[in-house]
Amino acid sequence: MMEHDRANVSLARRAYAIRRNALLMGEVQGQGYIGQALGVADVLAVSYFHALNYRADDPEWEGRDRFLLSIGHYAIALYAAMIEAGILPDTEIETYGMDDSRMPMSGMAAYTPGMEITGGSLGHGLGIAVGMALGLKRKNNPAFVYNMLSDGELGEGSTWEAVMSAVQWKLDNLIAIVDFNDQQADGKTTAALAQVPEVGRWQGFGWFAQEVDGNDMDAVVAAFDAARAHPDPVPRVIICQTKMCKGVPFLEDREITHFVRVEPDEWARALEILDKGKPDD
């Protein structure tokens, strides 16, 4: 079903390329949500190079799986993935966050090919995903709707309205991906608003729920496969425990990682470390 080229490249190599693109974009701005991008790169590699059906040269192809990024600040990560996928040209890396760029700091549908929705105001994505999943069913379109949301976004009540609605409408074409890195603006997510064991509460609402190490490529692949193949008429969620700044150890160790500080000389060092671990194709 893969519609894109270079399908023989390993997922580990894809994740490396996504991290590298993200670091290059972070360097352009001298800052950014690089911690999230590095952390979620493996999940995005599986999304764009294993799970999703799309055409790189036709981002609005009716048969595509829809990938909705509610967390607008993760745009740097999604741009990095879409550049690797050939949806966006790598020549635009140097425009990230600049005036007139198609890649603004926060993801917006009107700016970027392949960006399905305008994220940023948290708690919107899953509800829009519910509507798109309903719409696809109306059209007998077998595509999936994926919504990538964050652990912090689980604090928004609207997310839980959507959680209930997806069950009510038996949306087996909806797959939520929660990037659980336990970091939000003011600190740990689990210290801000009571977070019960995630799988249990999603199951309690009636979802097919899985929790995986989001930086374990094989585990993520298996979870996506299981989510798509699950036979029951229920929505699916994959809770991905990820490590902020994954792949660049000296950044992983920083305490405040929601908006990670990277000194000018550190970008080259981060790239160097990443390149040393470059996987084979």
Partner 1 sequence: MTDASLSRRKSKYRPRTVPVSEDGKKLTTSAMIASLDAEGRDTIAAPFGHALVDLAKSRSDIVGLTADLSKYTDLHVFAKAYPDRFYQMGMAEQVMISAAAGLAREGFTPFATTYAVFASRRAYDFICMAIAEENLPVKIVCALPGLTTGYGPSHQATDDLAIMRAMPNLTVVDPCDAIEIDQATRAIADHPGPVYMRLLRGNVPNVLGEYGYQFKLGQAQMIRDGNDVLFVSTGFMTMRVLDAAKRLQTDGIDCGVLHVPTIKPLDVSTITAEAGKGGRLVVTAENHSITGGLGEAVGAALMRAGVNVPFRQIALPDAFLDAGALPTLHDQYGISVDAVTATVKSWL
- Note the residues at the interface with partner 1 (CB under 8 A): 108-110, 116-118, 120-121, 123-124, 126-136, 138-139, 157-158, 161-162, 164-165, 168-169
Q: Given the structure tokens 């964050």, which residue do they identify?
A: 150
In the bound complex, what is the minimum distance in angstroms from residue 115's beta carbon to partner 1? 11
Q: What is the DSSP string of 125-190?
A: HHHHHHHHHHHHHHTT----EEEEEETGGGGSHHHHHHHHHHHHTT-TTEEEEEEE-S-BTTB-GG
Give the span between the Cα atoms of 150 and 97, in whole angstroms.
22
Q: Kindly tell me which of 64 and 246 has the beta carbon lying closer to partner 1.
A: 64
Residue with Cβ nearer partner 1 (107 or 247): 107
By beta-carbon proximity to partner 1, the closer residue of 37 and 133 is 133
User: Is 76 or 136 the residue whose CB approaches partner 1 more closely?
Assistant: 136
Helix and strand counts by DSSP (H, E) for the chain: 9, 5
How far apart are CB 200 and partner 1 at their closest, in Å?
A: 22
Q: DSSP letters along 65-109, please?
A: PEEEE--GGGHHHHHHHHHHHTSS-GGGGGGTTSTT-SS-SS--T
CB of 92 to partner 1, least distance (A): 22
Name the region of 215 (left: φ>0; alpha: ψ -120 to 50; beta: rest): alpha
Please state the closest distance from residue 267 (CB atom) to partner 1, in A: 32
Residue 139 CB, nearest approach to partner 1 (Å): 7
